[in-house]
Structures are given as structure tokens and as C-alpha cells.
Amino acid sequence: MSLQQSNTGPPKVWKTIEIKKKDTDVPIKFSIQEIPEDRFEDVIDHMCKYFLADEPMSNSLNGINEPEYVETFRIFWNKFLKQGLSVAAFTENVNGGKPIIAGCNILGLSFKGEKLDYNVIKSENGKKVMKIIDELSKKANVYEKYGVDKYMTAFGLSVSPSYRGAALGGHLLDARVDIGREYNISVTSTMFTSPISQKLAARCGFETLLEKDYVDMVDEKGNQVLPDIKVKSLKPKHMQKELLDQPKKY
């Protein structure tokens, strides 16, 4: 399913904002919008560079330095981008050329009854991470809880270090309300894996459906799946938010 392909015209702009970074008094203008197809590879490159370095599970597995692990994520990000829901924060490139990708949130639809295709995952570490995400998503039971056959999910949110401290993550998350209204998607649910993303999601109105300690994630032999994770006490949280009745924050 591709929402962009079913709609003519340029990618939708959900909002335009001007905000200041902590280290400057000069406001920067950002466009929070759908991602055009000619920027898909740029967005994937951004996620490979920043998200894989920062995300706790990927960090613990040193995934950024494993080509097959990186390729696993490139495959899934490309699949999500083609659905046409993903958003990015673009800002002007003062040196000319294409607008700069300051941050992005990879979004897609999850459908009741669909199954994860593990055959496309060549990395054993990639399979570990995808299995954690898949199992927690099933246990969160979003379809039954909300009586839906689809919901908006996500596969990573990242802001470039150059633009952190400008509240872009919150604006990217809040864009899901407009997306839900536009495409009649009533619920969004995502697994947030870091303390920063969990706090951000809570501020944006997400509620916890399910959480589980990393240290309790073990394989069939009882060994920890992520023994080198730095945040031992962290519980990755599957969090949700209803969209269609949410008031705008801007």
C-alpha cells in the first residue's frame, strides 16, 4: 500500500515551524512533511548514520559496524518509506542544493494477521532485534484492544545531532495526529527503546501498553539476548496513542 502513489501532487506538509536551538538565538524554519521518493535514500542514510548509533539495542550489538545488520534495517526502512506515511523535518540548505534532513520518523501501517518475514533478515543480530520487536508487538495486542484491523506503527525516529535541542522529535511525533486524520487511521502504537524516546512519547500523549526489562529477554537456553546493553534497568515500552479525537497542539 502506498498512500503517496494514491495521491497526486507534492508531498503533504503537515506544519511549518520556526524554533531555536539551545545554542543560538536565531530561529530556524523547518517543514514537517511527507518524504518525497527522491529523498528516500537520503533518509535511509540518515537513519543508518544516527539511529543505529544511538538506539540501545543496535548500540549494544554494535550493529552500525555489521554490514548485514545495517542492510536488514535498510530493507525494512525502504519498505516503510514506500507506504508514504513517513515524515521528516526539512530545513533550508544555505549552501544551496536539496533541503537538509534535520530529523525523520519512519512510519508505516501494521495489519492484523500479517507476519514478519524472517527470511529477508541475513543478520543473526538483526533477527534478535526483530524478534524482540515482533514479540512485544504481538503481546501489546493493539488490534483487539482497540477493535481495529490496522494501526500506524514506526521503525525509528532520529534527529541529527546538529539540530538536537530544538524539540524536533516532539513535532515529528505530533505529526501522527494529522496523518491519522488525513488517512483515517485511529491508533498509533510503537516500541520506544530508550529513556529519551520514552519521555518524549509520554510528553506527546502516548500511554504505555506493555513493558519488559532488557535483562529478562533471554533465548531458549536462558542466556540474555542483549548482555552488553548499557541501560540494564531500562524497560522498552510499547506505547500507543489514539489519533482521531486528539486536539491539535499547534
pLDDT for the residue 163: 92
Q: What is the pLDDT of residues 180-198, one digit of tens each?
A: 999 999 999 999 998 889 9
- Max CA-CA distance within the chain? 55
**Mean predicted confidence (pLDDT) in 119-139:** 92
- pLDDT band of 249, cuts 50, 70, 90: very low
Whether residue 8 lies inside any domain: the answer is no
What one-letter code names the amino acid at 152?
M
pLDDT tens per residue across span 51-97:
999 999 999 999 999 999 999 999 999 999 999 999 999 999 988 88
Which amino acid type is present at position 34?
E
CA–CA gap between residue 234 and residue 199 (Å, rounded): 12
Reported as a pLDDT band with limits 50, 70 and 90, residue 247 is very low
Looking at residue 233, its pLDDT comes to 56
Query: What is the reported pLDDT for 214?
Result: 86
pLDDT of residue 7: 53
- Residue 212's domain comprises 13-243
pLDDT of residue 126: 95
Q: Is residue 26 part of a domain?
A: yes
CA 228 to chain centre: 23
CA distances from 99 to 29, 36, 103, 227 (A): 11, 12, 12, 40
Within a domain: 1: no
Q: Answer yes or no: is 249 within a domain.
A: no
Q: Where residue 22 falls among pLDDT bands split at 50, 70, 90?
A: confident
pLDDT of residue 217: 87
How far is 172 from 174, CA to CA, in rounded Å? 6
E-only strand ranges, 147-249: 150-159, 187-192, 207-211, 237-242
- Any domain includes 2: no
Would 3 be classed as within a structural domain?
A: no
Length of the chain: 250
User: Which among 177, 129, 139 is positioned nearest to 15, based on CA atoms?
Assistant: 177
Asked if residue 235 is part of any domain, the answer here is yes
At 213 the pLDDT is: 87
- The CATH number assigned to the domain holding 60 equals 3.40.630.30
pLDDT at 205: 93
Torsion region of 147: left, alpha or beta (phi above 0 gives left; psi -120 to 50 gives alpha):
left
> What counts of helices (H) and strands (E) characterise the chain?
8, 8
Q: At what angle do helices 124-140 and 67-81 cross, to 10 degrees?
A: 40
pLDDT at 207: 92
Q: Residue 218 — pLDDT band, cuts 50, 70, 90?
A: confident
The per-residue pLDDT of the chain, averaged, comes to 89
User: Into how many domains does the chain fold?
Assistant: 1
Residue 206 lies in a domain: yes
Identify the pLDDT of residue 101: 97
